[in-house]
């Protein structure tokens, strides 16, 4: 069928809520590694990677093979939270490859297979454990769209989806993230003054929740000092620390977790997006064992423990994280990315580099320009998106496995698009 014929059904039957298809207005059929192909056979370099859900690229051959073997062998597809060999093997790999080498004692909770579900589980447990209600969240945070996670989310447009003046989004205090008030202002000090003043009106916190690098919020990377400071403040106040590593985890920041190498020991860590390795729905919550006071099924969900995802997730761990080599590649690639983005930034007056590791971008100063750049990229075969409160950041979330050449090609398309967009804007302004 032609692309147009295929597309008519979306117009007729899919809800208006659909979104990315509006920026990338074509019908995709196949994808491999860092490239996606549409119905016309045109190939695009993918610098979006399912919003960091495809850190290892599309259809990784090893995961693909393991998954097909599993399916053909009548392996369990859906097992609720019953014991399966597949789950045991995933847990064992996670223990051996991720937890033990990092000295982490956390237990793993299989939540419903969406990031927002892991966040909901985390805040429920934080309230249950502490007997407190208030969760401290931060400006520009994005934690999900279900009511609990949405209450933590900063974006006014997303919050408005809940209706009624956001009346259900309670139990959360929103505070300035690192850098939210500009370079000179120490938001951690602000936080401390509000939370240690017994007359501030801010209730004692059950937990702090933050993203080490804010994805949707504009690729804001918190400094090591700030992250460590949050950890210390939480301890002083008897509050828990929840790191939402859904977008920044699984290598995206340059290490497996977004907070590695820092002096912080999170009570809970949310994981999703690239956890399955293959783009399959999978989310989990890491919980310090002493906080694991759930009663059986006290938080559950039909698709918790997506068995297909266990298969690919295990392969991903074994393939990429058994030793340091992948992490070293990431360090190299981050340098390439920074250099490429610096070239882009040099084209735009006042532009700033944002982010860290393989989660970087350029704040080009306006959502209009950023959007124009991305549109020009797409015309030229590059899938790339914006983020930030005003959509002002052009964001690179390429698969971590992107071959250097492809990576360079993508960055060149971006640079060209930026040049033509800024030229156009200059003409328009004259």
Nearer to a copy of itself, 268 or 369 (CB): 268
**How far apart, in whole angstroms, are the C-alpha atoms of residue 371 and residue 272?**
27
Nearer to a copy of itself, 308 or 354 (CB): 308
**How far apart, in whole angstroms, are the C-alpha atoms of residue 206 and residue 204?**
7
Nearer to a copy of itself, 203 or 379 (CB): 203
Answer yes or no: are the C-beta atoms of 277 and 312 closer than 8 Å. Answer: yes
**How far apart, in whole angstroms, are the C-alpha atoms of residue 178 and residue 185?**
9
Answer yes or no: are the C-beta atoms of 55 and 274 closer than 8 Å. Answer: yes
**How far apart, in whole angstroms, are the C-alpha atoms of residue 16 and residue 230?**
39
* C-alpha neighbours within 13 Å on the C-beta side of residue 424: 12
Per-residue HEC secondary structure of 319-352 comes to HHCCCCHHHHHHHHHHHHHHHHHHHHHHCCCCCE
Nearer to a copy of itself, 5 or 404 (CB): 5
What's the closest the beta carbon of residue 274 comes to a copy of itself, in angstroms?
A: 10
Hey, is 293 helix, strand or coil? Answer: coil
Nearer to a copy of itself, 235 or 390 (CB): 390
Nearer to a copy of itself, 185 or 339 (CB): 185
Counting Cβ atoms within 10 Å, is residue 32 exposed (0-12), middle (13-18) or buried (19+)?
A: middle
């Amino acid at each position: 069928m032609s692309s147009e014929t295929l597309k008519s059904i979306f117009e007729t039957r899919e809800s208006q809520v659909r979104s990315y298809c509006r920026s990338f207005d074509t019908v995709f059929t196949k994808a491999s590694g860092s490239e996606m192909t549409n119905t016309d056979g045109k190939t695009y370099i993918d610098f979006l990677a399912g919003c960091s859900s495809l850190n290892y690229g599309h259809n990784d051959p090893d995961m693909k093979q393991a998954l097909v073997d599993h399916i053909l062998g009548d392996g369990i597809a859906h097992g609720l939270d019953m014991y399966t060999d597949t789950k045991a093997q995933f847990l064992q790999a996670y223990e051996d490859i991720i937890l033990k080498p990092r000295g982490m004692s956390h237990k793993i909770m299989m939540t419903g297979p969406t990031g927002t579900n892991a966040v909901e589980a985390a805040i429920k447990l934080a309230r249950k454990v502490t007997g407190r209600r208030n969760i401290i969240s931060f400006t520009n945070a994005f934690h999900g769209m279900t009511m609990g996670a949405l209450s933590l989310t900063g974006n006014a447009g997303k919050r408005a989806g809940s209706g009624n003046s956001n009346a259900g989004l309670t139990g959360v205090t929103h505070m300035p993230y690192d850098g939210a008030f500009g370079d000179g202002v120490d938001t951690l000090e602000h936080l401390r003054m509000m939370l240690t003043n017994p007359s501030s009106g801010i209730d004692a916190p059950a937990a702090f929740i933050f993203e080490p690098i804010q994805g949707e919020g504009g690729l804001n990377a918190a400094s090591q000092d700030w992250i460590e400071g949050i950890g210390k403040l939480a301890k002083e106040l008897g509050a828990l620390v929840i790191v939402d590593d859904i977008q920044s985890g699984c290598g995206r920041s340059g290490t497996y977790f977004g907070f590695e190498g820092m002096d912080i020991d999170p009570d809970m860590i949310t994981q999703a997006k690239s956890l399955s390795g293959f783009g399959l729905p999978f989310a989990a919550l890491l919980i310090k064992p002493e906080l694991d006071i759930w009663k059986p099924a006290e938080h559950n969900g039909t698709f918790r423990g997506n068995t297909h995802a266990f298969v690919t997730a295990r392969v991903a761990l074994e393939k990429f994280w058994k030793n340091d080599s992948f992490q070293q590649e990431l360090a190299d690639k981050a340098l390439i990315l920074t250099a490429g983005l610096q070239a882009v930034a040099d084209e735009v007056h006042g532009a700033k580099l944002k982010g860290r590791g393989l989660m970087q971008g350029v704040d080009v100063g306006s959502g209009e320009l950023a959007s124009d750049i991305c549109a020009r990229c797409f015309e030229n075969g590059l899938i790339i998106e914006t983020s930030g409160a005003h959509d002002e950041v052009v964001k690179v979330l390429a698969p971590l496995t992107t071959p250097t050449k492809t990576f360079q090609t993508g960055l060149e398309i971006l640079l060209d698009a930026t040049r033509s967009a800024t030229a156009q804007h200059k003409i328009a302004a004259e």
